[in-house]
Structure 1
Amino acid sequence: MLTLPEPSVAPLRGGPGLRWGVLGPGGIAHDWVSTLHRNTDQRVIAVASRSMERSRAFADRHAIPHAFEGHEALLASADVDVVYVAAPHAQHRPLALAAIAAGKHVLIEKPMALDAIEAEQIAAAARAAGVFAMEAMWTRYLPQSDLIARLLADGALGDVRTVTADLGWRWEFATGDPRFDPMVGGGVMLDAGVYPLWFAHSILGSIDGVHAIGSIAPTTAEVEAVISLRSATGASASLTASATATTPGLAAVYGTTGSVLFDSSFVFPARLSVISDGREHEWVDDSGLAGRDGLAWQAAALAAYVAEGRMQSPLHSLDDSIAVLRVLDEVRRQIRSQAE
Structure 2
Amino acid sequence: MTRDNDGLRWGVVGTGGIAHAFMEGLRAVPSARVVAVGSRDRERAEWFGDTWDIPHRHGDYRDLALDPDVDVVYVATPHPWHHPNTLLMLESGKHVLVEKPMAMNALQVAEMVEAARANDRFLMEGMWTRFLPVHQVARDLVAEGAVGEPTGVSADFGINLPYDPDHRLFNADLGGGALLDLGVYPLSLASWYLGEMTVVGATRHLSPDHMVDVRTTMLLRGENGMTATLDCASRTSLPGRAVLSGTAGWIEIERFWAATDLVLHRDGHEPERFHRPFRANGYEYEAEEVARRLAAGERESPRMSWSESRRVAEIMDRVRDMGGLVYSPGTVKAVPLD
1:30 to 2:47 alignment: no
Partner of 2:240: 249
1:179 to 2:181 alignment: no
Q: Deviations over 1:195-245 (max 9, x none)?
A: 011111111111023311011113311110111111122221111101012
Give the conservation status (yes or no) of the 8 Å contact 2:157–2:231.
yes
Counterparts of 1:159 and 1:123, CA distance in 2: 34
Where do residues 212-231 of structure 1 align in structure 2 (5 Å cutoff)? 212-219=202-209, 220-231=211-222
Where do residues 1-340 of structure 1 align in structure 2 (5 Å cutoff)? 17-38=7-28, 40-219=30-209, 220-262=211-253, 264-279=254-269, 280-289=271-280, 293-336=281-324, 340=338
Counterparts of 2:258 and 2:190, CA distance in 1: 16
Counterparts of 2:200 and 2:48, CA distance in 1: 42
Query: After the TM superposition, which of the residue ranges 170-179 and 71-80 deviates more from structure 2?
Result: 170-179
After TM superposition, give the deviation of residue 181 of structure 1 in Å.
1.9
After TM superposition, give the deviation of residue 183 of structure 1 in Å.
2.7
Counterparts of 1:265 and 1:246, CA distance in 2: 12
TM-score (norm 1): 0.90
Counterparts of 1:339 and 1:302, CA distance in 2: 38
Partner of 1:5: none
Give the conservation status (yes or no) of the 8 Å contact 1:17–1:303.
no
Counterparts of 1:277 and 1:315, CA distance in 2: 30
TM-score (norm 2): 0.91
Counterparts of 2:337 and 2:82, CA distance in 1: 28
Counterparts of 1:261 and 1:179, CA distance in 2: 28
Counterparts of 1:49 and 1:287, CA distance in 2: 29
Which amino acid is the alignment partner of residue 72 of structure 1?
A: R
- With over 3 angstroms needed to count, the CA separation of the structure-2 counterparts of 1:246 and 1:39, relative to structure 1, is farther
Counterparts of 2:30 and 2:259, CA distance in 1: 16
Which amino acid is the alignment partner of residue 314 of structure 1?
A: P
Which amino acid is the alignment partner of residue 137 of structure 2?
A: L
Counterparts of 2:275 and 2:217, CA distance in 1: 29
- With over 3 angstroms needed to count, the CA separation of the structure-2 counterparts of 1:309 and 1:226, relative to structure 1, is same
Query: After the TM superposition, which of the residue ranges 117-126 and 158-167 deviates more from structure 2?
Result: 158-167
Give the conservation status (yes or no) of the 8 Å contact 1:210–1:327.
no
After TM superposition, give the deviation of residue 38 of structure 1 in Å.
4.4
Counterparts of 1:17 and 1:331, CA distance in 2: 42
The secondary structure found in structure 1 opposite 2:282 is helix
In structure 2, list runs of 5 or more residues that go unmatched. 1-5, 326-335
- With over 3 angstroms needed to count, the CA separation of the structure-2 counterparts of 1:218 and 1:129, relative to structure 1, is same
Query: After the TM superposition, which of the residue ranges 56-65 and 168-177 deviates more from structure 2?
Result: 168-177
Q: Deviations over 1:123-168 (max 9, x none)?
A: 1110121111000000000001211222232233222111100101
State the superposition RMSD in angstroms. Answer: 1.7
- With over 3 angstroms needed to count, the CA separation of the structure-2 counterparts of 1:17 and 1:153, relative to structure 1, is farther
Which amino acid is the alignment partner of residue 60 of structure 1?
A: D
Aligned residues: 321
Counterparts of 2:101 and 2:155, CA distance in 1: 18
Partner of 2:329: none
After TM superposition, give the deviation of residue 336 of structure 1 in Å.
4.6
Give the conservation status (yes or no) of the 8 Å contact 2:260–2:278.
no
